[in-house]
């Protein structure tokens, strides 16, 4: 199945940046990956992002990436939108992987800002990069801004220009800065999909009019993320904020304090298959596991399902 630039325009709802379970020997556990999708299909998610930051994507080979894409497209429930992270350091490689993802049925590609030569990633360079990718991609693309990992924060000016390109339909901003998210929103057209990338600011982002989020927390607590949006959309703002407040310590634990290993252990505790991390990442020790379990328990999440 080949992607189409007309296949998707408007995004809404919650998407998990899907974790990649590994076996103890470091191989991808594709069966566990599929079982996670089967359970996520039961939640009210709008779709999936395969090959996000929480997927340990930098540690995957191209063959592994393409297999994970194929499995996601194959196993995703009807009406779920499948996105794939295809951003690589060179423009040429990004276009290549994006179009391979398109051939496998992905609706749109999330393209990470190049960052190895951070000092040379000026507005002019990034505008040229994303424009070239969008011109040659077989599916629409979204910009992925994640300063935590790239140590680069795209400017509102670059986003303003890029948001006018018909092949660039949105951006995921994972800076976790609500003021910055508002600054981006002011300069893009209403048709541009601005996605929140941190569950810690989900409710404030919804208040800004953001309609979609790609959230690490949605791997292990998808129902909570979906419920926050549903409560907000039905005018139950106090309840939405109370649930948001409960989830903030969980999100901090799995994205900052304990990282990928913490996210995977949280998923395992909550009935998903986190699997092992891939080296050079290391698993959590028992003390940290106990601390994480307590955080999940205080948040009211159902451990041991």
**Residues 174 and 186: beta-carbon distance below 8 Å:** no
CA angle 162, 65, 28 (to 5 degrees): 145
Closest CA relative to residue 82, chosen from 92, 70, 93, 94:
70
> 85: closest CA among 65, 110, 105, 60?
110
Q: What is the distance between the alpha carbons of residues 97 and 88, in angstroms, rounded to a whole number?
A: 8
Instruction: Using alpha carbons, select from 217, 303, 227, 300 the residue that is nearest to residue 43.
Output: 227
Find where tokens 């300069």 sit.
187
Residues written for the chain: 305
Active-site residue, 252 included: no
Among the options 10, 23, 172, 236, which is catalytic? 172
DSSP H helices, the chain, are 30-40, 62-75, 91-103, 123-136, 147-150, 156-162, 178-187, 202-208, 217-220, 222-233, 237-252, 259-269, 286-298
Q: Which class for 102: exposed (0-12), middle (13-18), buried (19 or more C-beta within 10 A)? A: buried
Comparing C-alpha atoms, which of 129, 69, 77 is closest to residue 105? 69
Q: What is the 3-state secondary structure (H, E, C) of 96-114?
A: HHHHHHHHCCCCEEEEECC
Q: Which residues are catalytic?
A: 172
């Amino acid at each position: 199945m080949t992607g189409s630039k007309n296949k998707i325009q408007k995004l809404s709802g919650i998407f998990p940046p899907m974790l990649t379970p590994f076996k103890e020997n470091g191989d991808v556990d594709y069966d566990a990956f599929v079982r996670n999708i089967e359970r996520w299909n039961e939640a009210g998610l709008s779709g999936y992002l395969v090959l996000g930051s929480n997927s340990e994507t930098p540690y995957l080979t191209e063959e592994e990436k393409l297999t994970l894409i194929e499995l996601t497209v194959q196993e995703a429930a009807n009406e779920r939108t499948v996105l794939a992270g295809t951003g690589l350091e060179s423009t040429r490689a990004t276009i290549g992987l994006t179009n391979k993802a398109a051939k496998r049925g992905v609706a749109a590609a999330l393209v990470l800002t190049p960052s190895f030569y951070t000092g040379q990633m000026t507005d002019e360079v990034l505008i040229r990069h994303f424009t070239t990718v969008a011109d040659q991609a077989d599916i629409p693309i979204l910009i992925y801004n994640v300063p935590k990992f790239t140590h680069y924060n795209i400017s509102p000016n670059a986003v303003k220009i890029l948001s006018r390109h018909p092949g660039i339909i949105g951006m995921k901003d994972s800076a976790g800065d609500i003021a910055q998210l508002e600054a981006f929103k002011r300069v893009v057209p209403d048709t541009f999909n601005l996605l929140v990338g941190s569950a810690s600011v989900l409710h404030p982002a919804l208040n800004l009019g953001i309609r979609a989020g790609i959230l690490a927390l949605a791997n292990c607590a998808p129902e909570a993320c979906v419920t926050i949006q549903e409560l907000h959309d039905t005018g139950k703002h106090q309840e939405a904020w109370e649930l948001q407040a409960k989830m903030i310590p969980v999100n901090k634990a799995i994205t900052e304090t304990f990282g990928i290993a913490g996210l995977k252990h949280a998923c395992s505790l909550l009935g998903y298959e986190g699997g092992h991390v891939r080296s050079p990442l290391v698993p959590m020790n028992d003390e940290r596991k106990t601390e994480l379990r307590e955080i999940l328990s205080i948040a009211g999440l159902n451990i041991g399902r």
